[in-house]
């Protein structure tokens, strides 16, 4: 018997697809019902999506269920985008404490207050979080989670509905909800670790920010930010100039005290715009004076190389025995929008971790830790790998 299984069913009859996907996933963990079932549903009618999610929970017999609606789902070694489909992922986690939760917000006197945060235990290992972006302040919550949850790693993604605002569906404990965020905390004897591939390659040198206000960069290395950018881009080969024009990114150094800042040493954020009059760049995060940054580009080859390298490092560090299953939250800007096939990330994870039992969905933003802090990402592959702890290994 394996401990993890996945299933995928495609077709307009989402109830039938839910039964088929669950059967495929659960068969792998028989004879006992799974301890955790995750179900992800893509469809063009939110009511049908809701029914499919609830039906999947009913037929699975799982102790705990979690899931959401999405524009595309991952399972059965495939990625399926913009098509009616159901992905199911089942896990047998004997002895593991699984704490489901539903987060909502209420208006306080001065700010929104998040309710439903579960009680933490010292041996909690990881949290899985799925959110509706229209009714939950996911960016602020994830940033605050680093303090509120005491450094607990969070992994997951932002759900989407077929008709925009009001059509997102979240599933938890057999229920469907249309607001907030849902998730589970996993604690006790669980060997689970995260991998977050941001898929970027640095261009130009690392630079110290010498002028900034919140998320506006005025000076880099004593030069107006736009002028510095133009200087760097003009020295690039034509292929990299084209990548910079299509979607320039900026990396914020994770460790200011590192001797070198190369790929993987940065938190990646987008460059949202520029003001040539003031020479300023607007970026997707607050950057203070004195921080080190480096411009970045992204393409299919770079994203593939980054994911492959990170998975190889994961395998080489010796913490885990064989990986037995994984949850995969891949950006909806990846898949066939970036690679030749929507199957790219799931096949890369299967090969890199040498495992089956991989399920997930294409997210509108991914959640995952980088350098020990939780962040919201774009264009990433965020992975939660499950295995068995090697004897004597440090689980951290």
Q: How confident is the model at residue 109 (pLDDT cuts 50, 70, 90)?
A: confident
pLDDT, position 259: 65
Share of the chain above pLDDT 70, in %: 96
Stretch 57-74: mean pLDDT, rounded? Answer: 97
Candidates 63, 77, 85; CA nearest to 5 is 77
Any idea where the domains of the chain sit in the sequence? 4-197+303-387, 201-297
Q: How confident is the model at residue 396 (pLDDT cuts 50, 70, 90)?
A: very low
Contacts of 351 (CB under 8 A, 6+ apart): none
pLDDT, position 32: 83
Q: Can you read off the two tokens belonging to residue 315? A: 């395998």
pLDDT for residue 263 is more than 70: no
10-30 residue pLDDT tens: 999 999 999 999 999 999 887
Stretch 305-315: mean pLDDT, rounded? Answer: 94
56-65 residue pLDDT tens: 999 999 999 9
How many helices (H) does the chain have, and how many strands (E)? Answer: 8, 27
pLDDT, position 141: 96
Q: How confident is the model at residue 171 (pLDDT cuts 50, 70, 90)?
A: very high
pLDDT, position 391: 59
Judge whether 211 and 219 are in contact, CB under 8 Å.
Answer: yes
If you average pLDDT over every residue of the chain, what do you get?
A: 93
Please, where are the H alpha helices in 40-177? 46-60, 138-148
pLDDT, position 361: 98
Residue 13 CA to residue 86 CA, distance in Å, equals 10
pLDDT for residue 240 is more than 90: yes
Q: How confident is the model at residue 392 (pLDDT cuts 50, 70, 90)?
A: low
The DSSP code for 34 is P
φ, ψ of residue 116 to 5 degrees: the values are 95, 5
pLDDT for residue 188 is more than 80: yes
Residue listed under structure tokens 């999947």: 56
3-state class of 24 per DSSP? helix
In the chain, what are the helix, strand and coil shares in percent, each to the nearest 5?
A: 25, 40, 40
For residue 369, list its beta bridge partners: 374
Q: In 359-396, which positions are buried (b, 16+ CB within 10 angstroms) versus exposed (e)?
A: bbbbbbbbbbbbeeebbbbbbbbbbbbbbebeeeeeee
Share of the chain above pLDDT 90, in %: 86
Q: DSSP labels for 175-221? A: EEESSSEEEEEEESS-EEEEEEE---EE-S--EEEEEEETTEEEEET
Q: Report how far apart, in Å, the C-alpha atoms of 344 and of each of 79, 304, 347 are.
A: 8, 9, 5
pLDDT for residue 342 is more than 90: yes
Judge whether 126 and 152 are in contact, CB under 8 Å.
Answer: yes
**Among 102-106, 152-156, 368-372, the least confident range:** 368-372
pLDDT, position 24: 97
Find the angle CA(13)-CA(18)-CA(19) to the nearest 5 degrees.
105
360-385 residue pLDDT tens: 999 999 999 998 899 999 999 999 99
pLDDT, position 318: 74
Stretch 32-49: mean pLDDT, rounded? Answer: 97
pLDDT, position 344: 98
């Amino acid at each position: 018997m394996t401990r993890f299984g996945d299933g995928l069913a495609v077709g307009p009859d989402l109830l039938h697809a839910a039964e088929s996907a669950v059967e495929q996933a659960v068969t792998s963990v028989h004879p006992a019902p799974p301890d955790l079932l995750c179900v992800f549903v893509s469809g063009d009618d939110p009511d049908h999506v809701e029914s499919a999610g609830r039906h999947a929970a009913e037929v699975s017999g799982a102790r705990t269920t979690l899931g959401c609606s999405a524009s595309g789902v991952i399972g059965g070694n495939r990625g399926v985008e913009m098509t009616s489909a159901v992905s199911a992922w089942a896990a047998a986690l004997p002895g593991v404490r699984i704490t489901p939760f539903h987060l909502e917000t209420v208006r306080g006197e001065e700010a929104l207050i998040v309710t439903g945060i579960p009680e933490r235990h010292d041996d909690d290992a990881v949290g899985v979080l799925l959110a509706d972006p229209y009714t939950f302040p996911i960016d602020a919550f994830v940033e605050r989670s680093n303090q509120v949850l005491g450094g607990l790693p969070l992994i997951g993604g932002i759900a989407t509905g077929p008709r925009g605002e009001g059509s997102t569906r979240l599933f938890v404990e057999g229920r469907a909800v249309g607001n907030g965020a849902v998730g589970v905390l996993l604690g006790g004897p669980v060997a689970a670790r995260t991998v977050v591939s941001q898929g970027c390659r640095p261009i130009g040198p690392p630079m110290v920010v010498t002028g900034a206000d919140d998320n506006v960069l005025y000076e880099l290395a004593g030069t107006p930010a736009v002028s510095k950018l133009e200087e760097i881009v003009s020295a690039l080969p034509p292929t990299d100039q084209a990548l910079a024009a299509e979607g320039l990114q900026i990396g914020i150094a994770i460790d200011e005290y590192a001797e070198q800042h190369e790929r993987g040493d940065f938190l990646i954020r987008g460059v949202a715009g520029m003001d040539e009059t003031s020479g300023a760049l607007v970026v997707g995060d607050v950057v203070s004076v004195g921080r080190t940054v480096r411009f970045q580009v992204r393409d299919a080859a770079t994203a593939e190389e980054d994911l492959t390298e990170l998975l190889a490092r994961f395998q080489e560090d010796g913490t885990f025995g064989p990986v037995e299953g994984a949850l995969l939250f891949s950006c909806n800007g990846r898949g066939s929008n970036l690679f030749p096939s929507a199957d790219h990330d799931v096949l890369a994870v299967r090969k890199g971790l040498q495992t089956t039992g991989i399920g997930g969905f294409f997210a509108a933003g991914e959640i995952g830790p980088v350098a020990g802090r939780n962040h919201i990402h774009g264009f990433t592959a965020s992975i939660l790998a499950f295995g068995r702890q090697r004897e004597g290994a440090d689980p951290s």
